[in-house]
Amino acid sequence: MPEITFLGHACFLLQDKEKETLLFDPYLRENPLAPLKPEELKPDYILISHAHHDHLGEAYEIAGACNATIITTPEIASQAQEKGLNAHGTSIGGSYRFPFGRVKVTVAFHGSGIPGGHACGFVINYYGQNIYFAGDTGLFSDMKLIGELTPLDLALLPIGDNYTMGIDDAVIAASFLGAPRVIPYHYNTWPVIQADPEEFKRKVEEKTSSRCFIVSPGESYSW
């Protein structure tokens, strides 16, 4: 049974018993909501959506400490490899099979945080479960296509507005994707991205076929 733990902001930990552990966008040390420190994590893989400091975070530090493989865009992967780290770069639309399953890189409408790069999201097949991590993005109509091409089990969506989708656009995103389960993130880290997850939950469950699960930092959700 897969379990996803929210570590605040846009950081998630995906694991299932003795199987590989995946860590997403590990912004921890300066994150006021983070329940764990970087040295407490020992993932096998680290997925990085883009190079802004609140997403790249301590990825390189963690990868170096536990020999994790970074999965990200080619530009960030090259930077990581220059630091002597294990990294696999994949461009938007591409996918690659890892021991736990396939990772496909999706578009995200946002800045890259690195010269020549691009922001991205991921569709991860993790031992038969399909999970969409949107990264930092605005709403875009091809989210319909993401859900059509890969029937999703879980969608992770930003709701904090200002830098990403706000609540109402994220509700539309949930309707486009059609995942039975939705978890919000990228909200309430700072005043500029204040958002009410209960409002998001209510609107998702009123306007879509999805159920919304609010996971507080440090809490986990299994399905």
Confidence band for 31, pLDDT divided at 50, 70 and 90: very high
The predicted-structure confidence for 38-53, as pLDDT tens digits, reads as follows: 999 999 999 999 999 9
Q: What separation in angstroms does the CA of 43 have from each of 77, 106, 155, 194?
A: 17, 22, 21, 29
- H helix or E strand, kind and range, residue 202: helix 197-207
Which of 36, 53, 45 lies closest to 136, judged by CA? 53
- Collapsing DSSP to helix, strand or coil, 62 comes out as helix
- Collapsing DSSP to helix, strand or coil, 6 comes out as strand
- Neighbour-count burial of 110, counting CB atoms closer than 10 A to its CB (0-12 exposed, 13-18 middle, 19+ buried): buried
Question: What integer pLDDT is reported at residue 76 of this predicted model?
Answer: 98
The predicted-structure confidence for 151-166, as pLDDT tens digits, reads as follows: 999 999 999 999 999 9
Q: CA 211, CA 107: separation in Å to the nearest integer?
A: 24
Question: What integer pLDDT is reported at residue 56 of this predicted model?
Answer: 98
Question: What integer pLDDT is reported at residue 150 of this predicted model?
Answer: 98
In this structure, how many other beta carbons lie within 10 angstroms of the beta carbon of residue 215?
A: 18
For domain 3-215, the CATH superfamily is Ribonuclease Z/Hydroxyacylglutathione hydrolase-like (3.60.15.10)
pTM (global) more than 0.95: yes
- Kindly list the domain boundaries of the chain, sorted by start residue: 3-215
